[in-house]
Amino acid sequence: MARFDVHRLTEPSSFDYVVILQSEFYDHLEIRLVVPIAANHRQIDPIVNPTIEFDGRAMLLKTEFMATISQERLGRKLGDLSKYEYEISRAIDRLTTGF
């Protein structure tokens, strides 16, 4: 599982998709640091919740819901958001530092 891979969750959740944020260096851990992406959700800040294109739709990165989950909750890989590395990193920085 690579950083910026998008997976569908295997169990029902408020969000269908998550993006892996965790480095592959820590693949030996049983958890993954993820952030959900969702359509039709409220944007609290355009930097914290950048709009991304996934699955042919405009979706929001829901950085404020960043969490660790068991890797067993991750379904198959559906895509990759590495082209949004800058936006994702900026969203995390804004949420954690305010800048």
Q: What percent of the chain has pLDDT over 90?
A: 91
Are 89 and 21 contacting, i.e. CB atoms less than 8 angstroms apart? no
Distance between CA atoms of residues 29 and 71, nearest Å:
9
**Domain locations in the chain?**
5-97
Q: What is the pLDDT of residues 54-79, one digit of tens each?
A: 999 999 999 999 999 999 999 999 99
Output the pTM of the full model.
0.93
User: What is 5-97's CATH number, 2.40.50.140, 1.10.540.10, 2.30.30.110, 3.10.580.10?
Assistant: 2.30.30.110
